């Protein structure tokens, strides 16, 4: 997603479930009005809207915004080019590097460890 050099410039994403637009703005070094504009330009960016149309972003939204930021600001893509690149990446996901597959693998391994720990010990 982001190159390692770009990760150093941005703060670590806290382990929260939802983030306000102000928090995402700080985490991604992008102003709130830019985030609202990107929602219009990138259909895959859809924060949850609650009370009074307040936006609440999830972790995957923050990661996507960082990717969009990298494409536009560091790699020099236009909005249209970045949108196309995001669609291409979605249609050709990389095996074993997606967060979901890593989480599934970790859960499977943890379940195996739990079964080993639950097994009666042999003296």
Per-residue pLDDT, 94: 56
Per-residue pLDDT, 3: 42
Mean pLDDT across 89-94? 67
Residue 115 CB partners (closer than 8 Å, separation 6+): none
List pLDDT tens digits, range 28-65: 999 999 999 999 999 999 999 988 889 999 999 999 99
For domain 4-93, say whether CATH 3.40.50.300 is its number: no
List pLDDT tens digits, range 93-112: 555 456 777 787 888 888 88
**The residue to which tokens 């859809």 are assigned:** 46
Domain ranges of the chain: 4-93
Per-residue pLDDT, 2: 45
CA distance 42 to 44: 6
């Amino acid at each position: 997603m982001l190159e390692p050099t770009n990760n150093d410039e941005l703060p670590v994403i806290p382990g929260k479930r939802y983030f306000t637009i102000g928090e995402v703005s700080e985490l991604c070094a992008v102003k709130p009005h830019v985030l609202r504009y990107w929602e219009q330009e990138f259909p895959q960016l859809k924060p949850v809207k609650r009370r009074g149309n307040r936006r609440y972003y999830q972790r995957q939204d923050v990661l996507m915004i960082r990717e969009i930021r990298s494409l536009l600001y560091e790699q020099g893509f236009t909005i249209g080019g970045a949108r196309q690149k995001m669609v291409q990446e979605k249609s050709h996901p990389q095996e074993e590097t997606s967060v979901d597959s890593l989480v599934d693998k970790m859960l499977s391994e943890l379940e195996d460890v739990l079964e080993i720990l639950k097994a009666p010990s042999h003296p």
